[in-house]
Amino acid sequence: MDKLTFYVPTMNCASCVAKIDKAMAALASDGEQVETSVNLADKQVTVVGIAQAQRVASALANAGYPGQQVIDQQLAIKERQENERKEYHTRLWQSMAALALGVPMMLWGLLGYEMMINSPAQQVGWGIMGGLTFVLLITTGGHFYRGMYSALKAGSANMDTLIVLGTSSAWLYSMLVVVIPQWFPADTRHVYFEASVMILGLINLGHAMELRARGKTSEAVSKLIGLQVTSATRVTDAGDEIVEISAIKIGDKLRLKPGERVALDGDVLEGQALINEAMLTGEPVPVEKQPEDKLSAGTVNENGSLVYRVTAKQQQTKLAKIIELVQQAQTSKLPIGRLTDKIAAYFVPVVVLIAIVAAIVWFVVGPAPQLSHALVVLTTVLIIACPCALGLATPMSIMVAVGRAAQMGVLLKNGEALQTASKVTTVVLDKTGTITQGKPAVTDVVTIAEMTRDNQLAGNQGVDNEAPSPLSEDKLIALLASAQQRSQHPLAAAMITEAKRRELVLGEVDSFNNITGQGIVAKVGGHTLVAGNLKLMQAEQIGDIALASSHVSDFAQVGKTPIYCAIDGHLQAVVAIADPIKADAQAAVAALLRQGKKVVLLSGDNQHTATAVAQQVGISDVIAEVSPEQKLALIEARQSKGEVVAMVGDGINDAPALAKADVGIAMGSGTDVAIESAGITLLSERVMTLADTFMLANATMNNIKQNLFGAFIYNTLGIPVAAGVLFPFTGWLLSPVVAGAAMALSSLTVVTNANRLRGLRLGAISHEK
């Protein structure tokens, strides 16, 4: 579907979000499916389902929030950062200018000097101060007036409306007292010029500090975008040439020098190098790359030189997709955040009504001087009620959390996946590719010499005296791998990989016979080789196989597959092949259990192997020999018992279960189908990252709840206190200046609290150390 993104710089509170949402919802004509995502944290509006950008732009402008379409996210982020830098400096000088006049006036009153109009001299003196205040209202508060005007044109009200009404009321009342004091009773001729400029000074200062703190929340995306290079070295028949990324086509050959970033995704053609993939996976250890290996854009060549063939354009690279996913997740709404949107839609009009009613009550039944008290209450309620903190509470935490997740190699499809992850009670782990590496490997080689020695020590039979001299391990592996070149079995790949690891030279195969379900018989290098299970050994009448029985039994106990290897009719070795368990799997399972989660191991493999793997990593609940349909049924059964289930897998056969689970978590090494079906993708191979993801989800939801609690408490308590409910008991009435400071501080507190997630200590980091 069509997707349009707009940057809306004038969006600054929760009521703005609600009004934009309403304006975008009204865009949908008959039969149109329009989805809107409004993010206050990065001031972006994303609309899915409308192709005409002008329609969206007009709707935003008509709602009082003109926006600029985002074509290039990289450019948009740079522009936004530059805009925010300029705005920061502007708000800072506006704050300093307002406070430079407001602080001396406030001190004048606090030190006991006259702030009443009782003489012509006082009229002149305070008249000059009123003129200076008016100039500052226009210069340091002009953006609030423009914001209010835009909102009123659209028939609505926003945060700017409250600020303008509050500060203007204080100034207008004071000027009337100065110009025509005879209209006011003597005890009400008080001026409040200092309140107007102090409020503007403190709010502008709060906005400046908020902008500075807010910049840190989008650092993760900025860093990811910074990984995209603008040019690369293309290899041509005429020699190397440096070209812009936009000029590179799929199939072009690029040269990667030491210290350079990979420009685009590709396949290595020649050379060897160590590539740092930490930006993708969070893994600090460089990965060795050689011909046929894949490269990802943005990764760094630490040493060596490569030539690779481009397989994707810039917008189709893995890095580009990661950036898009991160931005999509950062702009998504959590269910917990929708409550604030509903409240904000009615917030400003209700606050204005409360302020007017409170002022009338003070004027009618309040103590003398009624008019002054009514003005103070009106101004204070309008200022303290600004819903900035409420609007920032959820999106700020999401932005930081999604960025933090990306840094540790975790991609969140949307914010809802993060919220659901915080409620998970049961974690279902697929065995292959999740707990294990998903790549069978040779783990043990027991030669006939070792078997003979072990049997002799045990007082058992010896080796056949007619057996040929034992072959060395390397010679044996070379013969096995040579023969397995003709086989498509996964275990054959393990043999070949082992031979490559040992840097052995493979020979030609003279004859090859694959016996289904048993193994192979081949002639290699002048030898007859038989490799397979016990049934094949017996069929081929191989001698000495009884010597291997104890080792075969031991391998079976730990879930390894034993391969008997015979040369020229005599047993030479037993090779154990297994899918190795990931190094941190046991620690990760322990971390999940400490978090209070039930952990289930799910596998299509046989019960014996699955149980052996489960025992090694500390899982007691094992379900093996299950089909994709049975995996799905298992998830449904757990959910029917009230459990919140997370499914972790990496294959096509896991896709149905991943989609059905409350939250699906795909291993990044898995298939595209699995990743597409999941709400969360782990790019790192470490299982501990899974435990970290749940830790981050819990911390994020706690952070959001803290922000919402603080914002609700601030507004819930602030408005009644500002209205003067404490006055009958304490004789204390909240100053508009204090209200302005509190309003600015509430927003800053939310942003600062959200940024605490950036420093969250996670289990994988602790485990690594």
Percent of the chain with pLDDT over 90: 19
Q: What mean pLDDT comes out for the span 276-296?
A: 78
pLDDT score, position 340: 62
Q: For 409, phi and psi rounded to 5 degrees?
A: 85, 35
Taking 90 as the threshold, does the pLDDT of residue 78 lie above it? Answer: no
Span 555-574, pLDDT tens digits: 877 778 888 999 988 888 99
Band of residue 387 on the pLDDT scale cut at 50, 70, 90: low
Conformational region of residue 438, where left means phi above 0, alpha means psi within -120 to 50, and beta covers everything else? left
Span 181-238, pLDDT tens digits: 887 767 667 888 887 888 788 878 877 876 776 666 566 566 677 778 888 999 998 8
pLDDT score, position 235: 92
**Tokens describing residue 719:** 């408005």
Active site residues: 430
Can you give the pTM of this predicted structure?
0.69
- Looking from the CA of 618 toward its CB, the CA atoms found within 13 Å total 12
If you average pLDDT over each of 121-135, 310-324, 407-421, 445-459, which comes out highest? 121-135
Q: What mean pLDDT comes out for the span 592-609?
A: 87
- CA terminus-to-terminus distance, the chain: 45
Q: What mean pLDDT comes out for the span 507-525?
A: 86
Helices 73-110 and 120-153, axial angle in degrees (round to 10): 160
Conformational region of residue 72, where left means phi above 0, alpha means psi within -120 to 50, and beta covers everything else? beta
Q: What mean pLDDT comes out for the span 705-727?
A: 83
pLDDT score, position 768: 40
Q: For 166-207, give the secondary structure using H, E and C.
A: HHHHHHHHHHHHHHCHHHCCHHHCECCHHHHHHHHHHHHHHH
Query: Residue 336's CB: how many other CB atoms inside 10 A?
Result: 18
Contact 184, 369 (CB under 8 A): no
What secondary structure letter does DSSP report for 720? H
pLDDT score, position 677: 64
Q: Is 6 helix (H, G, I), strand (E, B) or coil?
A: strand
pLDDT score, position 81: 76
User: d(Cα 470, Cα 31) in Å, to the nearest integer?
Assistant: 78
If you average pLDDT over each of 125-129, 182-186, 607-611, which comes out highest? 125-129
Span 80-126, pLDDT tens digits: 778 878 888 998 999 899 989 988 988 887 777 787 888 899 899 99
Band of residue 14 on the pLDDT scale cut at 50, 70, 90: low
Name the least confident of 167-171, 428-432, 456-460, 481-485.
Answer: 456-460
Query: Residue 236's CB: how many other CB atoms inside 10 A?
Result: 10
Q: Which amino acid is at 315?
A: Q
**Tokens describing residue 321:** 């997709």
Band of residue 769 on the pLDDT scale cut at 50, 70, 90: very low
pLDDT score, position 74: 64
User: d(Cα 137, Cα 143) in Å, to the nearest integer?
Assistant: 10
Band of residue 671 on the pLDDT scale cut at 50, 70, 90: very low
Query: Residue 457's CB: how many other CB atoms inside 10 A?
Result: 8
Taking 90 as the threshold, does the pLDDT of residue 127 lie above it? Answer: yes
Contact 403, 326 (CB under 8 A): yes
What secondary structure letter does DSSP report for 544? T
User: d(Cα 697, Cα 336) in Å, to the nearest integer?
Assistant: 14
Q: For 29, phi and psi rounded to 5 degrees?
A: -95, 180
pLDDT score, position 767: 41
Name the least confident of 114-128, 323-337, 402-416, 655-669.
Answer: 323-337
Query: What DSSP string describes 32-84?
Result: ---EEEEETTTTEEEEES---HHHHHHHHHHTT---EE-S-HHHHHHHHHHHH
10 closest CA partner among 156, 109, 229: 156
Beta strands 680-682 and 410-412: pairing type?
Answer: antiparallel
Residue 226 to residues 95, 230, 263, 758: CA-CA distances in angstroms? 33, 10, 12, 19
Q: Which residue has the higher pLDDT, 499 or 212?
A: 499
Q: What mean pLDDT comes out for the span 398-423?
A: 84
pLDDT score, position 307: 94
Span 366-376, pLDDT tens digits: 888 888 888 88
Mean pLDDT of the chain: 82
- H-state helical runs in 218-281: 219-226, 278-281
- Degrees (nearest 5) of the Cα angle 518, 608, 652? 80
How far is C-alpha 589 from the geometric centre of its chain's CA atoms?
Answer: 22
Q: What mean pLDDT comes out for the span 645-667?
A: 82
Band of residue 601 on the pLDDT scale cut at 50, 70, 90: very high
pLDDT score, position 338: 62
Taking 60 as the threshold, does the pLDDT of residue 554 lie above it? Answer: yes
Q: Is 103 helix (H, G, I), strand (E, B) or coil?
A: helix
Query: Residue 110's CB: how many other CB atoms inside 10 A?
Result: 10
Name the least confident of 12-26, 392-406, 666-680.
Answer: 666-680
Contact 382, 352 (CB under 8 A): yes
Q: Which residue has the higher pLDDT, 544 or 391?
A: 544
If you average pLDDT over each of 515-519, 632-636, 643-647, which comes out highest? 643-647
If you average pLDDT over each of 279-283, 336-340, 542-546, 701-705, which comes out highest? 701-705
Query: Residue 549's CB: how many other CB atoms inside 10 A?
Result: 14
User: d(Cα 41, Cα 44) in Å, to the nearest integer?
Assistant: 8
Q: Is 683 helix (H, G, I), strand (E, B) or coil?
A: coil
User: d(Cα 273, Cα 288) in Å, to the nearest integer?
Assistant: 6
Q: Which amino acid is at 548?
A: A
Name the least confident of 122-126, 338-342, 411-415.
Answer: 338-342
Delineate the domains of the chain, giving CATH numbers in brackets: 3-77 (3.30.70.100), 80-219+328-398+702-758 (no CATH), 249-312 (2.70.150.10), 415-437+582-678 (3.40.50.1000), 441-578 (3.40.1110.10)
